């Protein structure tokens, strides 16, 4: 009887501990400077009020890099446009921008976007757990970032957290 009570107590504690595990991260909202971000694709829904988005097209990247870089703090390329973003004609553009470019929902890193000899479809997956990848070329030095989701769970809170971390990165540049 004593063993049954001990086992019951043990499993009750295990059950309580399991119930306390969360698939959502509690992160602070980005509160830095106002950001203006160009988006190719659907504008993301974010919780920050100090971030504005401007829809742009790939053609805008080709026509006036200086204007794009001076008017915007970063460029976001959304999932539905990743294949086109990896076309060889854009590789030098990403390397020439003075602002970072972020690719959302890619599991192929930044290489297919900055390497003319790679296509998106033929690029190897490098990390399934990355929700966003950023790239910025400054002179001879390239910077890149990878942002994963908390506990690798896709939900509204965890996606908002990724955007907050991306905004913080942009602000720090």
Distances (CA, A) of 39 to 99, 111, 115: 13, 20, 21
Q: Enter the pTM of the model.
A: 0.84
Confidence label for 3 from pLDDT (cuts 50, 70 and 90)? low
Degrees (nearest 5) of the Cα angle 51, 53, 57? Answer: 155
d(CA 162, CA 150): 9
What digits encode the pLDDT tens for the residues 100-158? 999 999 989 999 999 999 999 988 888 667 899 999 998 889 999 999 999 989 999 99
pLDDT at residue number 68:
78
Q: In this model, does residue 58 exceed pLDDT 90?
A: yes
Token pair belonging to 71: 């008017």
- For the segment 163-169, the average pLDDT, to the nearest whole number, is 98
* pLDDT at residue number 139: 83
The mean per-residue pLDDT over the stretch 86-109 comes to: 95
Placement of tokens 């690798």 in the chain: 152
21 confidence band (pLDDT: 50, 70, 90): low
The C-alpha atoms of residue 67 and residue 61 are separated, in whole angstroms, by 9
pLDDT at 25 over 80: no
Residues 122, 150 contacting (CB under 8 angstroms):
no
Instruction: Give the Å distances, CA to CA, from 22 to 17, 157, 158.
Output: 11, 11, 11
């Amino acid at each position: 009887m004593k063993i049954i009570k001990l086992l019951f107590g043990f499993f009750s504690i295990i059950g309580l501990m399991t119930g306390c595990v969360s698939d959502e991260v509690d992160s602070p909202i980005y509160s830095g400077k106002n950001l203006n971000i160009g988006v190719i694709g659907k504008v993301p829904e974010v919780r920050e009020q100090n971030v504005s988005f401007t829809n742009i097209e790939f053609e805008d990247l080709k026509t006036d890099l200086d204007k794009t870089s001076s008017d915007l703090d970063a460029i976001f390329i959304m999932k539905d446009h990743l294949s086109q973003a990896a076309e060889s004609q854009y590789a030098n553009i990403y390397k020439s921008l003075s602002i970072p470019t972020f690719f959302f929902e890619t599991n192929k890193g930044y290489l297919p976007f900055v390497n003319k000899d790679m296509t998106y479809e033929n690029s190897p997956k490098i990390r399934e757990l990355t929700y966003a990848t950023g790239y910025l070329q400054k002179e001879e030095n390239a910077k890149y970032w990878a942002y994963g989701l908390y506990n690798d769970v896709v939900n509204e809170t965890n996606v908002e957290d990724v955007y907050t971390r991306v905004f913080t990165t942009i602000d720090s540049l």
